Amino acid sequence: MIQHCVFLRFKAAVQEPEKKAIYAAIAQLKDVVPGMLDVKAGPNASPEGLSSGYNDGFIVTFEDALVRDYYLKHPAHVAVGERIVHATDGGLAGILVFDLET
């Protein structure tokens, strides 16, 4: 399995309803990406203070790397990705991606 972890620094102007709409759009990708197993999303809950400004994020669980790679190129994912880039502080600089193979 692949845990696709994405951490976000949303622009200050992005309100909670927009964040929830972005997370819902990501979750809806399960309907078009076979092998996309689960999506968890929300604000950072760590008390450590080590988020470096990445105060929101989501984790997508894929069956394997092939499914993850399919997802990355899927037009629906590309559209959601563009929406995320526009909502983050500094565009791509406001996004941190870490994939963990389990």
User: What is the C-alpha separation between 46 and 87, in angstroms, rounded?
Assistant: 22
DSSP H or E segment with residue 86:
helix 75-87
What are the φ/ψ torsions at residue 3 (nearest 5 degrees)? -100, 110
User: CA 90, 21, 7: angle at the middle one, nearest 5?
Assistant: 40
Which residues 6+ apart lie within 8 Å of 14 measured at CB?
87
pLDDT one-digit tens code per residue, 32-84? 999 999 999 999 999 999 999 999 999 999 999 999 999 999 999 999 999 99
pLDDT value at position 14? 98
Specify the pTM.
Answer: 0.94
DSSP H or E segment with residue 28:
helix 16-28
Q: Where are the domains of the chain?
A: 13-40
With bands split at pLDDT 50, 70 and 90, how would you rate the model's confidence at 28?
very high
